[in-house]
Structure 1
Amino acid sequence: MKVIVLGAGVIGTASAWYLRRAGIDVTVIERQGGAALETSFANGGQISVSHAQPWANPATLLKVLADLGREDAPLLFRLRADPVQWRWCLQFVRECLPGRVAANLRRIVAIAEDSRRCLQELRFETGIEFDSLSRGILHFYTDQREFDKSQGAAAAMRELGCPRNPISADEVVRIEPALSNVRAQLVGGDFTASDESGDAFAFTSQLAAKGAAGGIEFCYNTTVTRLLNEGGKVSGVEIIDGVGRHQVLRADAFVVALGSFSAPLLAPLGVKLLIYPGKGYSATYRITDPDAAPTVSLTDDGHKLVLSRLGLRLRVAGTCELNGYSRELNPVRCEAITRRVRALFPGACDYDDPTYWAGLRPLTPSNVPYIGTTRYPNLFLNTGHGTLGWTMACGSGRAIAEIVSGRRP
C-alpha cells in the first residue's frame, strides 16, 4: 500500500512515521525546504494536557467582546468580508454552550493524554533530543477573578484524570523561584506535574530525518495545487516540484495534514472543513542569566502566553489574531509580549534582540481536530489541531495510521 501525506509539520511527520511503522510505503509532500518550517517552527513548546480546555467557552467569549478594539488584546478579532470567517464565528459561539464545552473537553483530553504517552514511547525508542523538560506546567494568575474562574476548568480537568491542582501564590514561587520578582502580584496558580515541554521544530526535523533513513520519501520544495477525483476516489495529487515541473503523483490513499491550508485545498472536492487560521505570535530570547530564567514551563493565563525553557533560550508564545492568512508581524503585539516577559523576569534575557515569529494555527470552532475519514474512501484527515498540535501530534499520527490500516484507534 502506498500513502501520500500532504504536509511535513509535526502532525504530517508524525503521521508518516506511524504509517511507515505499520509497513506502509509513505511519501510526504511539503512546500518548504524541510520539515516543521511553518506552524511547527517556533511554537510555545508545551506538551500540555492541562491546557486542553477549548477556547470555545463562555469566559473566552466574554473576554473577546470586552477586548474588541484593543490592538494588543490577547485575543484579537478583525472582522473581514469573509463568509468562512462568519460561519466559523457562528459555530464558535454555538460551541460555547456548556454542554458542548464539556463534550469537547473530554475529546481533547483523551487525544492529548494518549499523545503524551505516544511521545514518551517514541522518545525512548528513537533517542531524539529536543530540549525536553519533564518538570510540569505551572499556570499562574495575577488577577483574583481570573484565578477564581479558572478553578472550574481545573476541577473539570481533574475529573477527567488530568492532575491540574490549585496551589497558593507561595507554592507558585516555590515551584518556580524565578517568579519571586512578581510575588506581590501573584494570587495563586495550578500545577500539572505530568506535563512537559520541548522544541517542536527540533523534534520534528529529527523525526523526519529518522523517517527518511527508514524509507519515508520526503519531497520538499514541492507545492500541492489540487487533488484529483476520479470514480468517487482521489486518484492523485497535482504538484509543482522544486524545479517548476508540473506532475501528478498517484497513491492508494492520501492523508491531508496541511493545517490551516487543508480547508481551501479540500473545498473543490466538496469536503467542507470549518478551519480558520488563528495567527499566533512567539518571541525567542537568549538567556543571559540562567538562574533568573524559569525552568518550569509556565502559562500566564491573564495574558494568554506560554513560556518554555529551551536550553539557553526562552520561548514565549501566545495571543491569537483572527485576520485571514497573513503572517505579517504586528509590532504592537510583539512589543506587548516583550514588555510582559521583561516585567516577569527582569535581567534574565537579552530583551533588546528578540526573534519574533508568527504562525497560523489551524483552529476548529470546537478545538477538536479532524482525525479520520471523509466522503472519499481513500482520503483521510489529520488537521485542525489549533494550539495543541505539538501536544496531540504523536497520538494523532498513530491514530490516523491505524485508521488508514483499517483498524479502530
Structure 2
Amino acid sequence: MMRVAVIGAGIAGVTAAHALASQGHHVTVYERRSSVAAEASFAQLGLVAPSLTGPGPFDGAPPLTERGGRWGLRPEAHLRPGWDTAAWRWLWQARQAVAPSRRAAAHKSLGELARYGQQHLRKVVVGHKLDYERAEGHLVLLSRSSQLSEAQQSLLELKARGIEARVLDPTACRVIEPALPLNANIAGGLYLPNDEVGNCRQFAHLLKEVAERMGVEFRFSTEVIEVMPGERPSLRSITLQSTTAFMSSRHVAAAREAARDAREAYDAVLLCAGVQAAPLLQQLGLRLPLLPVYGYSITASLRDLDRGPRAAVTDAQHGVSIARLGQRVRVAGGIEIGTAAHEHHEARLRPLYQALDRWFPGSAQKNHAQAWKGATPALPDGMPVLGQSDAPGVWLNLGHGTQGWALSCGAARLLADRIAGREPDLPLAAFELRRLR
C-alpha cells in the first residue's frame, strides 16, 4: 500500500485517483481550482470515440494533415504562433508526425488505448451505478459524394481494427437522426454505433464522490509549487485565496516563503495537471513539447427535444461535432494555436452556430447559449505521455488532447498497475517519455 499524490483534478486526475484507490493506495489530489473538471474538462464535447484514433479522413488528428503527399492545415485550424519559438517547433514536429510511416504505429497504439479506456469507463459506470447525461451512437455526416469513397476506405480500416461501422445513405442517416432536415445536403454518413457521448464534467463529479468514499482526499484551491523527486518524492503547495481571480504576485511570493519548509512526502507523485504542469516540468528539468491547443464549444437548452440530435453527430466537412446532453445540445469545434486562454474570438464560434442551424435548425435557444474556450494539452504526435519520468518518483499522465475522456480510464488503470510494480494489461512503451527524445 502506497501514499500517492495526484496533481490535477481534471478527468485524467480524477480517474487516476479512483484507479489508485481501487488498488488500496492512500491518494491525495491537489487541484488549484475549487472543484473537479474546472478547466480543460469543463465544457468539452464529451465524445468517447475509439473510432477517431485510427487512420482515415475522420480521425482525431493534430491540426496538420497529409494526403496525397501534401501536408497542410485542417480547415478549422487557426494559428497565431507569433514569435513563440516553442509553438513553431511544435508545429514542425507535428508536421513530421503526420507522415503515414510515422502515424500508422501511433494510430495502432492510440486505438488500443482508446478501446481499453472505453471498456474501463463502462466498468466504472456499471460498477458504481453512475447516472449521468449520456447517449450511444455517432454519425459522421458527409456532404460531398467524394467523401463516400473515403468513408468506404475508412470502413475497411475500422473493421480491420475490430470497430463496428456502417456506411449509410441519406435515408438511413435520417433513421439514425430523425431531426435532420429534409433539405440538408447529405451525401451519406459513416455510423459508429459503439461510440458514445456524455457529460464529462458531471461524470467527474460523480466519480469524485465515489473516490472520496474510498478514502481519497481532495485538496481544492491548492496549487503545488514544487515537486522534489527522489526515492520518497515530496512536494510543497500553497492555498489560493480565490479560484477565479488568483492571488497577486506579492501574495504568491509570501505564500511561497511560508511554504518553504512545508514538505509532504509520498511514495509516488503523478502529474495530471495538463498545461498547468509546465512550470513543474521545467523545475524538474523535463523538456516536454506540451502545447495548449484551444477549442471552442457552445451549450444551449433545447426548445423541443425531438428537434435535437439523439446522440453525437459530426460534420466531416467543417470539423464540427454536435452532441445531445440530456435536455441540452453542445456543439464543439475549431483549433487555435498561439492564442491566450482569455482571448475569445467570435469568428471561431460562428461555424458552431452555422453547423447547428445546418443540421438541427430551430432546435436550441441560442440567445442563452454558453460559449467556452478550453485548452487541450497536446504533444506533436497526438499521443499522450504515460509512465515514469526521468525524475525519480515522478510519473506522468499528460497530453491526452481531444481524446482525454476516451483515454483517461484506460491510462489511469495502466498507470496504477505500473506505479504498484505490476505488469499492465497493455504495453506502455509507445506512450513513454523516451519516444520524444
Q: Is the 8 A contact 2:387 2:395 kept in 1?
A: yes
Structure 1 residues 373 and 55, CA gap change in structure 2 (3 angstroms): same
Note the C-alpha offset of 1:37.
0.7
Say which of 363, 366, 369 aligns to 2:378. Answer: 363
Give the corresponding residue for 2:309: 294
Whichever residue aligns with residue 402 of structure 1, its letter is D
Distance in 1 between residues matched to 2:50 and 2:106, nearest whole Å? 14
Alignment correspondent of 1:126: 128
CA distance in 2, matches of 1:312, 1:334: 21
Tell me how far apart the structure 2 counterparts of residues 260 and 394 of structure 1 sit (CA, whole Å): 19
- Tell me what 1:210 maps to: 210
Summarize the Cα distance change of 1:215–1:113 in structure 2 as closer, same or farther, 3 Å threshold: same
1:341-360 matches, within 5 Å, as: 341-360=356-375
Give the distance between the partners of 1:61 and 1:219, measured in 2 at CA. 50
Report the CA distance shift for 1:240/1:60 in structure 2 as closer, same or farther (over 3 A): farther
CA distance in 2, matches of 1:282, 1:60: 31
Of 366, 389, 392, which residue of structure 1 is paired with 2:404? 389
Whether contact under 8 Å (1:256, 1:380) holds in the other structure is: yes
Counterparts of 2:306 and 2:296 in 1: how far apart (Å)? 26
Superposed displacement of residue 262, structure 1: 2.5
Query: Structure 1, residues 29-63: CA drift from partner, whole Å, max 9, x if none?
Result: 00100000111111112111112235144149968
Q: Secondary structure at the match of 1:179?
A: coil
Q: SS at 2:181's partner residue?
A: helix
Give the C-alpha shift of residue 256 in structure 1. Answer: 0.6
Per-residue deviation, 1:346: 1.3
Matched position secondary structure for 2:179: helix
Q: RMSD of aligned C-alpha atoms?
A: 2.0
The 3 A distance-change label for structure 1 pair 85 and 11 is same
Structure 2 unaligned regions, length at least 5: 54-58, 242-254, 425-437
Q: Secondary structure in 2 aligned to 1:408?
A: coil
What corresponds to 2:196 in structure 1?
196
2-structure distance, mates of 1:408, 1:61: 40
Distance of aligned partners of 1:91 and 1:233 in 2 relative to their CA distance in 1, 3 Å threshold = farther
How many Å separate the matches in 1 of 2:150 and 2:37?
36
Aligned to 1:106: 108
Give the aligned partner of residue 352 of structure 2: 337
Following TM superposition, by how much is the alpha carbon of 1:64 offset from its aligned partner in structure 2, in angstroms? Answer: 4.5
Question: How many pairs are equivalent?
Answer: 399
Deviates more, 1:152-161 or 1:115-124: 152-161
Paired AA for residue 249 in structure 1 = E
CA distance 1:100–1:152, change in 2 (3 Å) = farther
Cα distance 1:408–1:325, how it changes in 2: closer, same or farther (>3 A)? farther
Q: How many Å separate the matches in 2 of 1:206 and 1:9?
A: 13
Structure 1 CA distance for aligned equivalents of residues 186 and 239 of structure 2: 53
Alpha-carbon distance between aligned partners in 1 of 2:26 and 2:70, rounded to the nearest angstrom: 48
Matches of 1:147 and 1:310, distance apart in 2: 29
| Paired position in structure 2 for 1:70 | none
CA distance in 2, matches of 1:161, 1:347: 38
Q: Distance in 2 between matches of 1:258 and 1:152?
A: 38
Check whether the contact 1:64–1:76 (CA below 8 A) recurs between aligned residues: no
Question: TM-score under structure 2 normalisation?
Answer: 0.87
Post-superposition offset of 1:151: 4.0
The equivalent position to 2:419 in structure 1, one of 396, 404, 408, is: 404
- State how 1:103-182 maps to structure 2 within 5 Å: 103-134=105-136, 136-182=137-183
Q: Check whether the contact 1:181–1:345 (CA below 8 A) recurs between aligned residues.
A: no
Task: Find the counterpart in structure 2 of residue 74 from structure 1.
Answer: 76
Matched residue, 2:61: 55
- 1:305-320 maps to which residues of 2 (within 5 A)? 305-320=320-335
Structure 1 residue 400 displacement after superposition: 1.0
SS at match of 2:307: coil
Percent identical across equivalent pairs?
Answer: 29
Matched to 2:135, the amino acid is L
Aligned to 2:314, the other structure's residue is in SS state strand
Letter matched to residue 58 of structure 1 = E
Give, as a single letter, the amino acid of the residue that structure 2 aligns with 1:329: H
Report the TM-score when normalising by structure 1: 0.92
Contact 1:297–1:308, Cα closer than 8 Å, also in 2: yes
Tell me the distance in 2 between the aligned counterparts of 1:21 and 1:209: 14
Alpha-carbon distance, 1:261 to partner: 2.4
Amino acid at match of 2:142: Y
Q: Deviations over 1:62-88 (max 9, x none)?
A: 6844x7xxxxx5111112222221221
- Equivalent-residue separation in structure 2 for 1:324 and 1:408 (angstroms): 41
Q: Distance in 1 between matches of 2:342 and 2:387?
A: 28
